[in-house]
């Protein structure tokens, strides 16, 4: 067998859904009993799966680490009782679904869990690559720890996630087939699989943090590398555990993130300085991010990929523009170079209280901004582009509406993180 044939065989082995199913069983996931003749899911961006109506399959609702999936089962299966589908043991170990996909109405197939510590561990791991984590982690760094590190971390995150989403829609490989894989989470099931953007994010964020903070802050390098390794491993393994990616998807995502860091990290300081200092940088930032969202890729059918990309680009543009305004009005200041490396301050009751107040007040402000902008932009976009807004879920799947409301909404959230919320902190004495 030639080297090329061996490599092809290795890639096929790493992409085999049976490997994912074996890992799930090893970690204590109990496969549901599927009725004879239930169709096998091929994964990927299936238009029929993306168009599942809302409300069906409530008796099959099960726990995903984040949400559930119907998995393409027929209606007769969806309305069957849990006792007809599961053993008594699986029923005892089943937990209710945490959230369904509000855009597609998809819900999850029933499954059981025998190893609860691993279930909660991997649920935490996958959340390290979801919106809730991003919208709390980045502001926490910018408001409480180091605004410079926070800004530059966002720059690298936007690059990694954008290029990863584009690669998915160019390669167009489907998700691991179910069966044999048990889909514990399928909020992103309508997206393609290769590479894993969770793995990319879980690799890029901790490694970028180490690169940005070592030498600027005093701490042992080994601590940073150990934390980065654990972080990356947890996120990557969680995606296999949840049945969302093959081993090959994870490896490709990890290597792709490393490649992007190697190419772009040397320029992150230049990009950050340009965003803050150059007079016309907001116009360039907004135009560039908007153009990337519109012209970078097209979808053969609707998926969450396009909206997520618009969120990423909008957030990055908003944070960059907010930092530009904050810099020019003197709201931000950097420590003198002769004070570097910075020492980690001791935690006092006063310090801890201020941190908690910033997080509480800031997050409430961001959530209100997100809700208000969403309520305004969706009907406005529908009116501008002549799209019926009776069915909001369907209207949000039109490119004109989706890109407009996501870009503007998350652009304002990003702008709030680096400008509006710091202004609020300044006026109430929490700077």
Using CA atoms, how far residue 16 sits from 104, 176, 318, 352, in Å, is 27, 8, 41, 48
**What is the C-alpha separation between 45 and 302, in angstroms, rounded?**
8
**DSSP string across 244-291:** S--HHHHHHHHHHHHHHHHHHGGGHHHHHHHHHH-TTHHHHHHHHHHH
The four Cα atoms 412, 418, 419, 422 give a dihedral, to 10 degrees, of 130
351 is catalytic: no
- Altogether, the residues listed in the chain come to a count of 431
Nearest to 125 by CA among 35, 268, 244, 211: 244
Which member of 88, 198, 328, 351 is catalytic?
A: 198
Q: Compute the distance between CA of residue 308 and CA of residue 169 in angstroms, rounded to an integer.
A: 13
* DSSP letter string, 164-194: HHHHHHHH-PPPPPBTTS--S--TTTTS--S
- Containing 30, the helix (H) or strand (E) segment is strand 29-30
Structure tokens at 285: 């930032």
Task: Tell me, rounded to whole angstroms, the distance of Cα 9 from its chain centroid.
Answer: 31
Residue-by-residue DSSP string for 319-354? HHHHHHHHHHTT------GGGPSBPPPPP-HHHHHH
On the question of a cis peptide bond just before residue 415, with omega within 30 degrees of 0, the verdict is no
* Contact assessment for residue 162 and residue 315, using Cβ atoms and an 8 Å cutoff: no
Q: Which of 245, 289, 324, 351 is catalytic?
A: 245
Q: Which helix (H) or strand (E) element contains residue 29? A: strand 29-30
Three-state DSSP class for 113?
A: strand
Query: Is 198 a catalytic site residue?
Result: yes
Contact predicate 156/204, CB 8 Å: yes
- Catalytic residue ranges: 198, 245
């Amino acid at each position: 067998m030639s080297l090329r044939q061996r490599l092809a065989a290795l890639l096929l082995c790493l992409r085999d859904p049976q490997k994912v199913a074996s890992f799930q069983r090893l970690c204590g996931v109990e496969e549901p009993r599927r009725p004879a003749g239930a169709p096998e899911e091929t994964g990927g961006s299936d238009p029929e799966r993306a168009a599942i109506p809302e409300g069906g399959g409530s008796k099959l609702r099960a726990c995903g680490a984040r949400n559930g999936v119907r998995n393409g089962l027929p209606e007769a299966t969806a309305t069957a009782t849990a006792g007809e589908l599961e053993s008594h043991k699986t029923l005892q170990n089943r937990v209710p679904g945490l959230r369904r996909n509000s855009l597609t109405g998809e819900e999850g197939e029933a499954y059981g869990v025998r190893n609860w510590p691993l279930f909660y561990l991997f649920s935490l791991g996958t959340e390290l690559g979801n919106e809730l984590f991003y919208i709390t982690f980045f502001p926490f760094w910018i408001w409480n720890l180091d605004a410079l590190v926070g800004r530059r971390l966002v720059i690298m995150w936007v690059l990694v996630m954008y290029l990863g989403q584009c690669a998915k829609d160019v390669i167009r490989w489907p998700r691991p087939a179910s069966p044999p894989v048990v889909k514990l989470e399928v909020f992103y099931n309508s997206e393609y699989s290769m590479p894993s953007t969770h793995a990319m994010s879980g690799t890029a964020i901790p490694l970028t943090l180490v690169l940005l903070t070592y030498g600027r802050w005093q701490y042992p390098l080994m601590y940073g590398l150990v934390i980065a390794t654990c972080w990356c491993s947890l996120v990557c393994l969680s995606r296999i555990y949840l049945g969302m990616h093959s081993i090959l998807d994870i490896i490709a995502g990890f290597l792709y993130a490393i490649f992007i860091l190697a190419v772009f990290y040397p320029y992150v300081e230049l990009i950050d300085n340009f965003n803050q200092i150059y007079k016309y940088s907001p116009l360039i930032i907004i135009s560039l991010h908007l153009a990337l969202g519109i012209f970078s890729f097209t979808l053969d059918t609707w998926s969450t990929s396009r909206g997520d990309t618009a969120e990423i680009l909008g957030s990055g543009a908003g944070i960059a523009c907010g930092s530009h305004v904050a810099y020019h009005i003197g709201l931000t200041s950097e420590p003198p170079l002769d004070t570097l490396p910075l020492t980690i301050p001791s935690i006092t009751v006063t310090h801890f209280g201020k941190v908690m107040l910033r997080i509480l007040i800031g997050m409430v402000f961001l959530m209100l901004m997100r809700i208000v902008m969403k309520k305004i932009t969706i009907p406005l976009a529908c009116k501008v582009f002549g799209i019926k807004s009776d069915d909001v879920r369907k209207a949000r799947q039109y490119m004109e509406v989706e890109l407009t409301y996501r870009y503007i909404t998350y652009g304002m959230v990003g702008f709030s993180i680096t400008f509006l919320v710091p202004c609020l902190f300044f006026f109430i004495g929490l700077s």
